[in-house]
Amino acid sequence: MSDLQTGGGPAGALPLAYGHVDPALFPTEQLAEAAGEALAQQGQSALNYGAELGCGPLRDYLRSKLARDEGLALEPENLIITAGASGALDMALRLFTRPGDTVLVEAPSYHEALAVIRDYPVKLAAVPMDGDGLRVDALQRRLESLVDAGERPALLYTIPSFQNPSGVTLSAERRPQALELAYRHDLLIIEDDVYRDIYFEDPPPRSIFQMDTHGVTIRLGSFSKILAPGLRVGWAVGTAAQVERMAACGLTKSGGGANPFAAYVAAVFCERGWLEPHIVGLRQAYRQRREVLLAALRATMPPDVAWTEPAGGFFVWLTLPEPLSAAEVLQRAQRLGITFLTGEPFFTKGRKQGRRHIRVPFSYLELGDLTRGMEILAEAIRQSA
């Protein structure tokens, strides 16, 4: 959410900081119809405190979607509706870590997830990535050195598909390797897979959750990227015991399951058969934006600037050559009319590691603005060199 606060920059600047869905892509009229129907048919349930596991029809739909798309056979007790993926992550931190535990994250990682983790009295440890995602060799070394130092690594937070901010996907080979380490070190994996459906050619590899034979993974999904983030509806899948723990926590007991009204609206939208064509449309829209962005990068960037070429999701990750600093480029870029996020917030030790990186989302801006944005960024880089 704080992208909305940090992305503004000078008035009129093109907000390349926004890693959000373009509001023009919200299916507003269909959602209005779904809201009317949810009230007409389910008014008393939709407006009341909800079941701990969340809206029944939506849970049924999600289980059938996961079975259809991924061949996942989930029982009702394996899935809980949450207040977005953020709500589920917050819950996992609260319920499955103890003060002083170490939480492992990718370097870089989603900056707002780092903020959620920092709300808890845990230590953060970062593991580097490369073009195939989280480096499992580095994860192994990090786990061993933490254990040697008497620390308790409790949880790994990973975004394996079309990661925010790097756009990189964890390879099929590395997924079971990460799981093996989790089994060995009694590590809980939080697999944040909110971009999974936004693929441009092929779906990403099978999820870590699906490969997991020991029940050490909780996987998060969300309607934020495939429908509308204002619904604040997501889901978590895990073992019956993990899901039961989430359903039986104080927050859920006191307030009931997450966001019943919004969840009923989403359920009607899905039951009408509207979600599938909507996701197909989003894939087309974002694929086109990625093409335009990559073409603009190739046409405009000075030599030695490097970038990722994501196969899905919302983000391209730029690396500047030494000795350029992204903060300096940002200052010039803002004067020229764009604003963006530099790499710092995406790292646990931002100043050092994030200095040469820029996150470029292609989800929010239209095609012409993406091209113009890259022309301005290239000019700002040239002026800083």
Burial 90-123 (b: 16+ CB within 10 A, else e): bbbbeebbeeebbbbbbbbbbbbbbebbeeeebb
Query: Contact 332/343 with Cβ under 8 angstroms?
Result: no
Query: Which of residues 58 and 329 has its CB atom nearest to ligand PLP in the complex?
Result: 58
Q: Does 84 sit near ligand PLP (CB under 6 A)?
A: yes
Q: How many residues interact with ligand PLP (rule CB under 6 A)? A: 14
Q: Tell me which of 78, 164, 339, 371 binds ligand PLP, using CB under 6 A.
A: 164
64-to-16, 58, 69, 212, 221 alpha-carbon distances in Å: 36, 10, 8, 20, 14
Please say which residue, 199 or 384, places its beta carbon nearer to ligand PLP.
199
Ramachandran area for residue 232 (φ above 0: left; ψ -120 to 50: alpha; else beta): left
Residue from 52, 101, 192, 197 touching ligand PLP (CB under 6 A): that is 192
* Closer to ligand PLP by Cβ: residue 163 or 300: 163
CA distance 382 to 375: 11
Name residue 313's beta-bridge partners: none
Q: Is the Cβ of residue 86 or residue 300 nearer to ligand PLP in the bound state?
A: 86
CB of 200 to ligand PLP, least distance (A): 17
Q: Which residue is nearest to ligand PLP (CB)?
A: 84
Residue 100 makes CB contacts below 8 A (sequence gap 6+) with 121, 122, 123, 152
Please list every residue from 331 through 350 that binds ligand PLP, using CB under 6 A.
none
Looking at 110, 162, 264, 317, which residue binds ligand PLP (CB under 6 A)?
A: 110
Contacts of 66 (CB under 8 A, 6+ apart): 72, 74, 237
* Distance (Å, whole) CA 138 – CA 232: 35
Among 159, 246, 263, 381, binds ligand PLP (CB under 6 A): 159
Cβ 342 to ligand PLP shortest distance, Å = 17
**For ligand PLP, the closer CB: 234 or 371:** 234
Query: Minimal distance in Å, beta carbon 383 to ligand PLP?
Result: 30
Least separation in angstroms between residue 85's CB and ligand PLP is 4
Q: How many beta carbons lie within 10 A of that of residue 325, not counting itself?
A: 14
- CB nearer to ligand PLP: give 153 or 167: 167
* CA–CA dist 237, 219 (Å, integer): 5
Interaction between residue 207 and ligand PLP (CB under 6 A): no
Cβ within 8 Å of residue 312, ≥6 positions away: 161, 162, 169, 195, 198, 199, 200, 204, 286
Please, which residues bridge with residue 128 across strands? 107
Piece of 4-12, 81-89, 292-300, 304-312 that binds ligand PLP (CB under 6 A): 81-89
Binding mask 220-259 for ligand PLP (x = CB under 6 A): --x-x----x----x-------------------------
Binders of ligand PLP among 7-26, rule CB under 6 A? 19
Q: Which of 319, 315, 301 is nearest to 355 (CA)?
A: 319
Residue 214 burial (10 A CB sphere; 0-12, 13-18, 19+): exposed
**Rounded least distance, CB 284 to ligand PLP, Å:** 21
Return the range that interacts with ligand PLP (CB under 6 A); candidates 80-88, 97-105, 347-355, 360-368.
80-88
Select from 61-69, 84-92, 141-149, 171-179 the region that touches ligand PLP (CB under 6 A): 84-92
Q: Which residues lie near ligand PLP (CB under 6 A)? A: 19, 84-86, 110, 113, 159, 164, 192, 194, 222, 224, 229, 234
